[in-house]
Structure 1
Amino acid sequence: MRTGPTTESTSQSGGIPLVIYVFALSAFALGFTEFVTIGLVSDIAADLAVGVDQVGAAVAAYALGATIGAPILTALAANWSRKHLLLAAMIVFTIGNFLVGLSGDLMSLLSARFGSGLGHGVFLAVASSAATRLVAPQRAGSAVAVVFGGLTLALAFGVPIGTFLGGVWTWQTIFMGVAICGAIGVVGLALLMPNARDGGEAKDALHNLLALFDRRLLGAAFITVLAYTGSFCLFSYISPLLIEVTGMDAAWVSTMMLVYGVAAAVGNVVSGRMTDRFGPDKAVMIVLIGLAVVLAAIWAAVQSVAAMAVLIAALGALTYAAVPAMQARVIGITERHAPKALAAAAGLNIAGFNSGIALGAVLGGWVVSNYGLTSIAVVGSVAALLGLGFLRLTR
């Protein structure tokens, strides 16, 4: 049973409401500030007179904020309307980036990054669940894909654009620009988001927190963790793999990252339509099979530059095809078993993506240290197969 906005706030024409594109614009700002930092690490380190490894913690601080904000803060704000919660999240994000731009030392930078990450997690959790309620049920996958399309475009272009802009503007100016984008998102939400009475009661906060421990939701989020562990076990070390094993010139690695990002954007869109057509369960199964096959193929073809170019593009497409399919699956399970905890459950899955990325990087590092670079592809494939097996057990 669907609950939420009245029919007046839901698209009746079968199209995507304009406010969902505002969600996508906001998601682009969220993703851009997360990924742009990677291209600015050296500039920030030099300006603050600290080590590059210390500035690298700014990326982790943001991800930590997103991981905490997505399930926990969203659950605690159960009595807020979706519009007010989205506005609050974007305001926190905007202020956080403004403070990053004003940072004069490492501690203030890390604190501001953590704060803006909290806004990131809450916004994506609420926006992805709200988007499915603003369209007809059969368009839910496409609506989620539009929201995360903004995030995926940020992945595709955030690092190269950040590297370029870092040579033109100061890093502080770039983060101030992100804050301006966030402010535009706030205005768009205020004007276009329906004023529905879709908040719960104060007691729903406890209900939402308890829903996070529902075995079906935890099982769905665990599949997300396994999929992203498998993908990022390899992708976290893609640069040394391409240079040291494939023999690719270092100058071409950034081009491969762009290819990965563009393919990710394509995969995100295709997955939204695939989810609408076949349903979330089958879409997730297709993605997991694809990841397992591609990662195994990378192990087999790692010394071929041409093959690796194709396979890295396929990896990007499948990794981000997972987002709308897995998010729609979690939301569908929640609608059936815990309909008042939609946003919190969506946040749990977003935390699953972030946890998978972190776990993949750690696992990949251990594998590289003990078994060498080529082994990460095999371990990644096994993780994807475990996710597939778990999906089959829990369907």
Structure 2
Amino acid sequence: MIKKSLVPLALGGFGIGMTEFVIMGILPDIATGLQISIPQAGYLITAYALGVVVGAPTLVSMLAHRPPRSVLMWFMLMFTVFNAMSAFAPNFEVMMLSRFMAGLPHGAFFGVGSVVAARLADEGKVAAALATMFTGLTLANVIGVPAGTWLGHNLSWRAVFLVVALIGLATVFALRQLVPHIDSQARTSLRHDLRIFRSRALWLALAITSIGTGGFFAFFSYIAPLLTEVTRFKPSTIPMVMTVVGVGMTVGVLLGGRLADRVPPLQAILILLASMTVLLLCNGLFAGSQPAMLVLAFATGANALALGPPIQMLLMEHSREAEMLGSSLGQSGFNVGNATGAFLGGIPLTLGYSYASPQWVAAGLALAGVGLALAMLAHGRARALVPA
């Protein structure tokens, strides 16, 4: 049974997951509304991801000495304001700015939220508690993203970001009511926190996260035009396919949580990145088959989110001196992957190749993640092989 105190973390994850992933489903609508090309609209994904990368370590370092519950509330207020700004953006430039600003509290929320979830977790259930928080993100892909995609197609893409803003506001109240007060950490200097970056293992873990997950985002960033132009799904069926991806993500994050509580995190990551490489290759090979793409949509979504809990545990294990900062780096890494995947996946499209071409870029990035995981093992990082 899910702890009541973890529900606001899952709700915040739902809002964050919706605003991050729904843009992939309504990318053509945004491009039409702002009178820009689809590759240009893809830069909005990159802008949000860069906001996460900048905001996660910066905001956490600034506010780590404050009580975690109040910090989470401030993050979600920022999230609410800047998603509302996205809804009313009059042009591409303002939309780029609003997406960057909306990304700032994303990683910081998950960073602080991960520490809160770990403190609220029962003995031996830390990864399961983290998975509960990330379940909100995955449920966004089951409910929020398909609903938002339908809303964007049939009403207005601007209405989607207004809904996200309302979810952010609801999260603020839920945090106030359901999350107990947790004492703040002893105040340390920024220099002290930055000591965690002396660890080569931490840098390797970040590289694995940033490059390996880029494969999924190179696939997911252009999923709507891939399905309509290559697989020949009707635009009206895209929300259904996004639901399939979301169900896969929900299943995957729960399995990833169980896996990370049973085997060493790095071993779990290596297995999942290897299977991700195979799935992304299959997405390119079978892009013309509707039944195959439905199966692959589920499997790829499950594989991608199963990586979340073991990556989070690996980063926390190598950042004990500044746990909140280290925990926030997971989302920074994911969104470096998001920005990298969206950018690199768009290059073959700008060169005139088909919408199936990003899949080859995606598989290459996932395979690079496998290589980095093997390098971490080869360096004899025994600490990474000990379950938290």
Q: TM-score range by the shorter chain?
A: 0.7 to 0.9
Aligned to 1:352: 333
Count of residues paired in the alignment: 374
| Structure 2: unaligned runs, 5 residues or longer | none
Matches of 2:13 and 2:223, distance apart in 1: 25
Aligned to 1:176: 162
The residue type paired with residue 53 of structure 2 is: T
Aligned to 1:6: none
Contact 2:68 / 2:184 at 8 angstroms: preserved in 1?
Answer: yes
Contact 1:223 / 1:391 at 8 angstroms: preserved in 2?
Answer: no
Deviation at 1:50, TM superposition (A): 4.0
Matches of 2:35 and 2:122, distance apart in 1: 51
Deviation at 1:137, TM superposition (A): 4.3
Matches of 2:209 and 2:18, distance apart in 1: 22
Aligned to 1:197: 183
Contact 2:232 / 2:288 at 8 angstroms: preserved in 1?
Answer: no
Structure possessing the higher radius of gyration over alpha carbons: 1
Map Cα deviations across residues 315-345 of structure 1 (whole Å, 9 max, x no partner): 111111001121122123323xx2xx11111
Question: Percent sequence identity over matched residues?
Answer: 34
Single out whichever of 85-94 and 284-293 deviates more from structure 2: 284-293
The residue type paired with residue 64 of structure 1 is: L
The residue type paired with residue 99 of structure 1 is: M
Aligned to 2:266: 281
Q: Pick from 219, 223, 227: which aligns with 2:208?
A: 223
Map Cα deviations across residues 268-295 of structure 1 (whole Å, 9 max, x no partner): 1111122123342332233123223333
1:72 aligns with 2:53: no
Aligned to 1:37: 23
Contact 1:292 / 1:384 at 8 angstroms: preserved in 2?
Answer: no
Aligned to 2:311: 326
Change (3 A) 1:141 1:101: same
The residue type paired with residue 112 of structure 2 is: V
Q: Pick from 239, 251, 255: which aligns with 1:270?
A: 255
Kindly report which structure 2 residues correspond to 1:295-306, keeping only aligned pairs within 5 A, or say none.
Answer: 295-298=280-283, 305-306=290-291
Matches of 2:30 and 2:348, distance apart in 1: 31
Q: Pick from 379, 382, 385: which aligns with 2:367?
A: 382
Deviation at 1:90, TM superposition (A): 1.0
The residue type paired with residue 102 of structure 2 is: S
Map Cα deviations across residues 70-105 of structure 1 (whole Å, 9 max, x no partner): 122212323222122111111111222233344444
Map Cα deviations across residues 44-78 of structure 1 (whole Å, 9 max, x no partner): 5666x542556554433322211111122212323
The residue type paired with residue 332 of structure 2 is: A
Aligned to 2:241: 256
Contact 2:42 / 2:221 at 8 angstroms: preserved in 1?
Answer: no
Map Cα deviations across residues 214-235 of structure 1 (whole Å, 9 max, x no partner): 3222211111123212333444
Kindly report which structure 2 residues correspond to 1:136-175, keeping only aligned pairs within 5 A, or say none.
Answer: 136-166=122-152, 169-175=155-161
What secondary structure sits across from 2:323 in the alignment?
A: helix
Contact 1:223 / 1:390 at 8 angstroms: preserved in 2?
Answer: no
| Structure 1: unaligned runs, 5 residues or longer | 1-14
What secondary structure sits across from 1:277 in the alignment?
A: coil
Deviation at 1:377, TM superposition (A): 6.1
Contact 1:295 / 1:380 at 8 angstroms: preserved in 2?
Answer: no
1:342 aligns with 2:323: yes
Aligned to 2:121: 135
Matches of 1:278 and 1:46, distance apart in 2: 47
The residue type paired with residue 150 of structure 2 is: F
1:125 aligns with 2:129: no
What secondary structure sits across from 2:181 in the alignment?
A: coil
Runs of 4+ in 1 over 6 A off after TM superposition: none
Matches of 1:43 and 1:263, distance apart in 2: 25
Single out whichever of 362-371 and 279-288 deviates more from structure 2: 362-371
Matches of 2:28 and 2:196, distance apart in 1: 42
CA RMSD, 1 decimal: 3.1
Single out whichever of 361-370 and 171-180 deviates more from structure 2: 361-370
Matches of 1:301 and 1:348, distance apart in 2: 35
Change (3 A) 1:67 1:381: closer
Single out whichever of 275-284 and 129-138 deviates more from structure 2: 275-284
Contact 1:155 / 1:261 at 8 angstroms: preserved in 2?
Answer: yes
What secondary structure sits across from 2:137 in the alignment?
A: helix
Change (3 A) 1:213 1:354: farther
Change (3 A) 1:96 1:314: same
Contact 1:229 / 1:383 at 8 angstroms: preserved in 2?
Answer: no
TM-score (normalised: structure 1): 0.82
Map Cα deviations across residues 20-40 of structure 1 (whole Å, 9 max, x no partner): 111010111122123333444
What secondary structure sits across from 2:113 in the alignment?
A: helix
Aligned to 1:99: 85
The residue type paired with residue 356 of structure 1 is: G
Single out whichever of 151-160 and 309-318 deviates more from structure 2: 151-160
1:363 aligns with 2:369: no
Change (3 A) 1:165 1:362: closer
Map Cα deviations across residues 338-383 of structure 1 (whole Å, 9 max, x no partner): 2xx1111112121111111222333344567599837446524522
